[in-house]
Amino acid sequence: MTSQELLHAISLVGRENPSRPPLHKVEIFRHHFADDILLIETLDQRDGSCTVRELLLRYLLLDAVLDQGPDSEGVGLLLTSVTNELYRNEVRFLHQPSEFFRELGIAVDSITTTHDLVKQERAEEWASINESQASKYNLFLDGTRQVLDYAVARWGVVLAVPLLLTRDEQDEEGKSTALLRYLETWPSAEVMSWRIKDHPRYGLGKAIGDKAAHLFAKWMIHSCRLTTRTEDPAWGSFSFESPFDSNAGRVLFRTGFFLEWASLEEYKSEKWDVVRIGKGKGGTNYIRVTNIRGKRSRRAEEDGALVEAYQRLCTTHLRTNKRLPRAVQIQRIPLAILLQGQDFTPGELDDGLMHMGTNFCFNHASPLCVECPVNRLCRGYQQDPHLITDYRT
């Protein structure tokens, strides 16, 4: 197995099983879709105070923040249902974010009722897949039980961004695309994903993690194609890092991809703090996927062709480096490998990782390896079963 073979196989799974937010189920967006395909030609039409493109970006930013919990499908159901109910009650919070705060009581009641309904629908299946208990099902982030905390700290802080951008915008016409204009001021989609979190005035701070910020970039560039900078490679298919969540990390670890680029000892080291021995469920080893970001692969730096592709990735596409970088970061290696071949995109790779992580490579000792579409290339399945039985994300 080579890393290129593995990534291409996973990306093919993603191409055949694209993962997109169910935007066509949101009532205010329905006539901009044919079945579940977004009608690109309608994006710049006005819908009240905003363009359709702007409204979709506001919705997706909220979706990305909420989708940091344990059940993406449940989050999609929750957000879709609450949005539809609020708009039926004339709380047009995407068009006018201030209405969410003005009608906070209606919003909180809707979130509470809808969460209970989603739990009834999803809890048993979620518990079965994750070898957990249905009573533990909770879409409110950080394990909170207080709906007001969730509504203000997650929904509210996201909606405050377009609210503030609109009020800061001096051009009346510019208010209809305030979030879009702000996002596209940054040199690349990757840099944009950083500023969504850390901008001193408009940053979401603790409300959003790296994975969610990159998920938003993926949706904007790959899944929904909402950027207007379509000719710029820094806003194209390779302009953002793949969202490294537990599903992606679990698949890439079990298949042996991560171990191609660094040793298990490095991942276990106190300095890296990626693999925590005995800290996983049932005394297994816990893989803290987010800690892989920024870790250097000296093995990769021995491959001249890969280094060349990596440097081109960083300077032309991600625009994170003005000079050619010397160190190769592990989380960017998949993008550099795909860039060499140009056969698949990082978005397709992430779609494949998501499909495999949620349908086959479950986070327990008995995943559906026999049915997995890439099991012939998987190190855990073919030769090192402890990579499956002894590690969790």
pLDDT in tens, the chain (393 residues): 689 999 999 999 999 999 999 999 999 999 999 988 999 999 999 999 999 999 999 999 999 999 987 788 999 999 999 999 999 999 999 999 999 999 999 999 999 999 999 999 999 998 888 888 999 999 997 778 899 999 999 999 999 999 999 999 988 888 999 999 999 999 999 999 999 999 999 999 999 999 999 999 999 999 999 999 999 999 999 999 999 889 999 999 999 999 999 999 999 999 999 999 999 988 999 999 999 999 999 999 999 999 999 999 999 999 998 899 999 999 999 999 999 988 999 999 999 999 999 999 999 999 999 999 999 999 999 999 999 999 999
The helix (H) or strand (E) run that includes residue 276 is: strand 275-276
CB 258 within 8 A of CB 266: no
Total Cβ atoms within 10 A of residue 143: 8
Bridge partner list, 286 = 276, 392
> Is there a contact between 258 and 267 (Cβ–Cβ < 8 Å)?
yes
Q: What integer pLDDT is reported at residue 1 of this predicted model?
A: 63
Q: Which two tokens stand for residue 106?
A: 């209606």
pLDDT at 78: 96
User: What is the residue whose two structure tokens read 């349908």?
Assistant: 359
**Maximum pairwise Cα distance, the chain:** 63
Tell me if residue 33 falls in helix, strand or coil: strand
- Is the distance from CB of 4 to CB of 341 less than 8 angstroms? yes
Rounded Cα distance between 59 and 373, Å, is 33
Q: Using alpha carbons only, how large is the chain's radius of gyration in Å?
A: 21
**What is the distance between the alpha carbons of residues 141 and 149, in angstroms, rounded to a whole number?**
10
**Alpha helices (H) along the chain:** 3-16, 52-66, 72-88, 98-102, 104-130, 147-150, 157-168, 178-183, 189-198, 210-218, 246-254, 257-261, 264-268, 304-312, 333-341, 346-359, 379-382, 386-389
